[in-house]
Structures are given as structure tokens and as C-alpha cells.
Amino acid sequence: MIISEKKNFERKFFRNLRNKKSANDMRKVEINVKTYVDSIFRQDLKKKYIGIYWPLENEVDLRSLGHEYLLALPRCEENKNLLFCAWDKKQLSKDIHGILAPYSSNKLSYEKISMMFIPCLSVDRNLIRLGYGGGYFDKLREDKNWRSIPCIGILTSNCVSDKFLTRADWDIPLSGFITEKEILV
């Protein structure tokens, strides 16, 4: 079986698991993310943007962080380019995948982002992320400057894989992950 077939099998398996998570578990993940962010910004008074994602398909919703922190959302563009753009709570537009995102005129450099939270279908104990297969986050993180920014996977504990996930050459390990049961960063 080739890598893409293995990953597609894993995606289907973990999507089904994710769909079984409870709203309470998702809320607990959100609380753990907030606890983590609060602990980081207590230590570092220089407030930069936190990169989050627009929640889709039963993903944990982190938009409430915007009540206290500056947020940036990703915008997918042609050639698998991913931008993080300042989110000022104003009108959003759809990117090339139909996901709501700020306009690219609000593009931020890696120096303006303190950390990125990204959705995961799964993650293993080697911090390999199973995403949706678009490759946008991995392509962004090929750049050493973007790779230096903590990139933390967000998911519920039922989707943390006990086995090693299929890894392609381009997969870049995360900095950690947060579930309703643990903060591993």
C-alpha cells in the first residue's frame, strides 16, 4: 500500500473517531488551550498574534481566544501557499477552498506570530500530524522561520494515535498537542 492510500485510510478512521467526541470534551480542549496561552503570555509580555484556524467539520473552536488576545487566521492561496492574516473581527472572505479568512492585505510575517494552533485528525507520540492532505501547513513550515514558531495540534484525546502514523518525507513534526486530558508542549 502506498503512502497516500495509508494516509487516506487513517483519515477516514480518525474522522469517524472525531465525530464521536462530545461537546463537553471539545469545551475542555478549549479550556486547556486557554490555560496554556495564559501561562505563556504571563511569562512574555510582548503580545503577538496567535495563529488559529476557522473551525470546520467538528473541529475545536478557538475563536473565543479573541476576547483577550490578537488572533490571526490562515488563508489558503494558489500553489499551496498559506498566509496568516490578522483577524480584526471584520468581514471575512472565502479562500480558494471556500474557508472563511481575512483578506490577504492583512498578511503577517512570522515575526508577528507567537504560536500557531492547528487542527488535527490525529497526532502520534512522535508529534506527526494527520491533517486533511492539502499540505498547506507543512509547506509553510518548510521555511525555517515559520518552523521556529511553536505549532501545536488541537484535537480530542480519542484521536491521539497509539500507533505511529504514516509519515511522508514532507511531514514536519509538531511542537506539541493539546487535548481535553493533556497539554503536551
Rounded-to-integer distance, Cα 117 and Cα 72, Å: 10
Place of cell 497509539: 162
- The tally of CA atoms less than 13 A away on the side-chain side of residue 89 is 8
Rounded-to-integer distance, Cα 33 and Cα 154, Å: 8
Strand order in the sheet with 49-51: 81-87, 71-77, 49-51, 113-119, 151-154, 176-178, 183-184
64 alpha-carbon distance from chain centroid: 15
The pLDDT of residue 42 is: 75
Sequence-distant (6+) residues with CB within 8 A of 10 are 121, 122, 130, 161, 165, 166
Sequence-distant (6+) residues with CB within 8 A of 39 are none
The pLDDT of residue 46 is: 66
H or E element, residue 151: strand 151-154
Helix (H, G, I), strand (E, B) or coil at 129: strand
**pLDDT, one tens digit for every residue, the chain (185 residues):** 698 899 999 999 999 999 998 999 999 999 999 999 999 887 665 679 999 999 998 899 999 999 999 999 999 999 889 999 999 877 899 999 999 999 888 899 999 999 999 999 999 999 999 999 888 999 999 999 999 999 999 999 999 999 999 998 889 999 999 999 999 99
Angle CA(174)–CA(9)–CA(97) in degrees, nearest 5?
Answer: 65
